[in-house]
Every structure is written in C-alpha cells, then in structure tokens.
C-alpha cells in the first residue's frame, strides 16, 4: 500500500528543504551535536536493511537485465549493440504477435471478471444448490496450471471427448488447440475456468458487506433481476469489482505460462505466444539471452504501466471508501 505522503512517519531532518522553507523562523529545540546526528542518521540506519535488500535483489538484477539488453548474442556477446535487440523485436512478427495477445487479454478482462461476478450473484441470491456450486466453483483454483493443462489437453484433443460429443450431435470436430483462430481463446477460457474460483470468493466476501435492506427495497419496488444487478448490486460492489479487475489482470498477464507451455507450446503457428513464453524460448531454446533481456525489458515496461494504472485505480477505490 502506498504510504500517505502527508503524514511522514519520521520527522524530517532539520537540514532538509522543510527547514529552508521555514527560513529559520521556526525555533528548533537545541540539543547536543552528537544527539542530533544520531537522530538524523537513525531513519537511514533503520531503513538500510530493507533498502539494501531492495537494491541488491530487485534493482541490481533489473539494471543488469536492462544493461544486457543493449549487448549482443553469440559472436557479439558482451559488445554494445545499441538498440539492435529492440529493433529486432520490433521487426519480429512473433514478438509483435505476443504483444497483440497481451492486448487481447486486456480486451477479454471484462469477460473474466463478469463470469465470477455473475456466478457469485446467483450464489448470493440462493439459486437452488448454491452451497454445492460454491465449493465446486472454487475447486479448480487449487489445481496447478500443469494439471489443468494436461486435463484439457485430453479433453480438447482432436480425437478427444469434446469433439466426440460434438460429432454425436451432428457438428463437425473443431481443432481446439490446432486452429490459430481458436487456440488463444481456448487457453484463456481454460485459464478463466481454472482461476475464477478465487475471484468468486472475493465477490462473495463483497456480497457479505452488501446492505440487504437495499435488495429488499428493490424487491418491494418490483425490480427485475437485471435491474437489481444493475442498480443495486453493481454500485454497491464497485470496490470489490475494482479489486477483482486488478487481481485478474495481474493473473492473466503473469501466470499463463504454465498453461501455454502444456497446452499449445506457443502454437499453432505461433498464435498463442505471450511475451513470457517468447522470453523463455529465446533464452532457453534459441540461446539468445541478450534478445531475451530486451524482451524482458519491454515486458517490464508494459507491466510498469499496467501496475501504475492499477495502483491509481486502487488508490481511488480506497479514497472513495
């Protein structure tokens, strides 16, 4: 959580800009020089362990990665190549496809949020069997992506049960994981299936704070279900919805690798590449660590933008509360 800048936890050092702003008009309590120095240093000493850990384990590797992205691979290993890696990325249809897929994920986000939202609404409104559904919906959330991927590989195989079912009702088979126009949606669908249970629980928690009298009032006024959802439930749950949007977005952008790896390996025709998968292929399979660093830097910048947007969204949500 961001620290509120208006209330610093530590008194500002007297030599700082605050002092200058006051231009000496405010009387500072006189103490011995040693006491003042230790007081001045104390916050830095106390912050040092956390800062060092951040510097060493976060920023330093980050800097190295960015640095590597400006060097070459193979024969040009270690020599500066300027922006060559970035230009190569910009010209690589595979990487551009991976970025397009990130865009697709963002576009599919409302669906991924609406599904648990709707299902939670039904559970909240106590549709018959809601207790069973509550646990059934959550169940896939405890499975690892590799297991989920393997299960759906079997189900969605060309000669698998789903196509057999389609054949049974007279529809032709669909090459779920072999058709480039379909595969990405299938993988996203499976990801949503595997993870929506968590969002559902968050929604249910949000519903717990919902004012029941509002619902009763809506019912008395004769509101239909869609009207109740639109005018009562959605406004009351706006904070929960924002939170689910943020966490679902993070989930989609960072934890699809396992599914992609197991289900499509980036294929068919490279249509299910995401930047993470691209980085992994370049570094691990094609021995291009510098190019992979460049791709990582691009992914980092994207995540930075997304992250800052999310922070501002969350901040607004907190302020509204």
Partner 1 sequence: MKQRAVWSAVLVAALALAGCGSAGGTRSPSGGADGKLVVWDWKSGEASAAAYLQKAKADFARKHPGVTVEFVAQPFEQYYTLLGTAIQAGKGPDVILFNGGGQIRDRADALLPLDDYLAEDRQRLTGWEAFSKDGKTYAGPVTLQGHPIYYNRTLYEKAGLDPAKPATTWSTFVADCATITTRTGAKCFALGNKEGFGIQFFLSVLGSGVLTPQEYDDWIAGRRNWNSPHVKRIFALWKETQDAKLNSDGANSTAMFNDSFAIFQSAKAAHVIGLMSDVGHWKDFSEFLTAEKLGVMRAPVVEPGATPSLPYDGGIGYGVARWTKDPKVAADLVRSLTSTDALKSFYADAGAIAADTTIDVSQGGPAVTTIVADLKAGKPALHVALSSKTLDLMGRLSQQLLSGSVTVDEAVKQLAASDQAG
Output 32 or 78, the one with its CB closest to partner 1: 78
Span of 29-37, 157-165, 214-222, 235-243 interacting with partner 1 by CB under 8 A: 157-165
Q: From CA 274, how far away is CA 90, in angstroms rounded?
A: 15
Determine if 157 is a binding residue for partner 1 (CB under 8 A). Answer: yes
Both structure tokens of 256: 């699809």
Residue 267 Rama label (left phi>0; alpha psi -120 to 50; beta): beta
Determine if 64 is a binding residue for partner 1 (CB under 8 A). Answer: yes
Output 205 or 301, the one with its CB closest to partner 1: 301
Q: From CA 105, how far away is CA 250, in angstroms rounded?
A: 11
DSSP string, 258-316: HHHHHHTTT-STTTT--HHHHHHIIIIIS--HHHHHHHHHHHHHHHHHHHHHHHHHHHH
According to CB under 8 A, which one of 15, 28, 38, 67 is a site residue for partner 1? 67
Angle formed at CA 51 by CA 48 and CA 52, multiple of 5 degrees: 80
Please, what is the minimum distance in Å from the beta carbon of residue 170 to partner 1? Answer: 18
Output 39 or 179, the one with its CB closest to partner 1: 179
Please, what is the minimum distance in Å from the beta carbon of residue 150 to partner 1? Answer: 11
Determine if 74 is a binding residue for partner 1 (CB under 8 A). Answer: yes
CB 81 within 8 A of CB 72: yes
Determine if 185 is a binding residue for partner 1 (CB under 8 A). Answer: no
Please, what is the minimum distance in Å from the beta carbon of residue 184 to partner 1? Answer: 13
- Determine phi and psi for 288, rounding to 5 degrees: -120, 65
Window 222-281: residues binding partner 1 (CB under 8 A): 264-265, 267-270, 280-281
> Pick from 105, 113, 155, 132: which is nearest to 272 by CA?
105
Span of 11-19, 31-39, 136-144, 288-296 interacting with partner 1 by CB under 8 A: 288-296
Strand partners, 175: none
Output 14 or 258, the one with its CB closest to partner 1: 258
Determine if 81 is a binding residue for partner 1 (CB under 8 A). Answer: yes
CB 154 within 8 A of CB 168: no
Residues that bind partner 1 (CB under 8 A): 5, 59, 62-64, 66-74, 77-82, 94, 156-159, 173, 175-180, 183, 264-265, 267-270, 280-281, 283-287, 289-290, 292-293, 304, 308
């Amino acid at each position: 959580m961001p620290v509120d800048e208006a209330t610093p936890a530590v008194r500002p050092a007297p030599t700082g800009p605050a002092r200058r702003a006051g231009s000496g008009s405010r009387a500072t309590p006189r103490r011995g020089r040693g006491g003042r120095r230790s007081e001045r240093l104390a916050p830095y000493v106390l912050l040092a362990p956390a800062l060092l850990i951040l510097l060493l384990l976060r920023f330093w590797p980050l800097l190295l990665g960015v640095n590597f992205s400006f060097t070459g691979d193979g024969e040009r290993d270690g020599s500066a190549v300027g922006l060559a890696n970035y230009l190569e990325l910009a010209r690589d249809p595979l990487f551009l496809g991976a970025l397009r897929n990130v865009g697709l994920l963002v576009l599919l986000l409302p669906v991924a949020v609406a599904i648990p939202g709707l299902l939670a609404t039904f559970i909240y409104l106590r549709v018959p069997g809601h207790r069973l559904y509550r646990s059934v919906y959550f169940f896939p959330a405890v499975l690892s992506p590799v297991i989920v991927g393997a299960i759906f590989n079997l189900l969605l195989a060309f000669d698998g049960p789903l196509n057999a079912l389609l054949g049974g009702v007279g529809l032709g088979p669909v090459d779920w994981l072999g058709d480039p126009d379909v595969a990405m949606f299938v993988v996203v669908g499976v990801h949503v299936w595997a993870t929506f249970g968590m969002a559902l629980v968050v929604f249910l928690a949000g519903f717990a704070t919902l004012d029941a009298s509002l619902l009763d009032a809506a019912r008395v006024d004769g509101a239909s279900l869609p009207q109740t959802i639109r005018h009562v439930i959605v406004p009351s749950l706006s904070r929960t919805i924002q939170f689910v949007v943020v966490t679902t977005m993070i989930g989609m952008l960072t934890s699809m690798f396992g599914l992609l790896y197991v289900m499509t390996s980036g294929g068919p025709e490279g249509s299910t590449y995401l930047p993470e998968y691209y980085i992994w292929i370049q570094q691990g399979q094609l021995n291009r660590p510098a190019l992979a660093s460049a791709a990582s830097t691009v992914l980092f910048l994207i995540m930075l933008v997304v992250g800052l947007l999310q922070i501002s969204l969350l901040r607004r949500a907190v302020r509204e509360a």
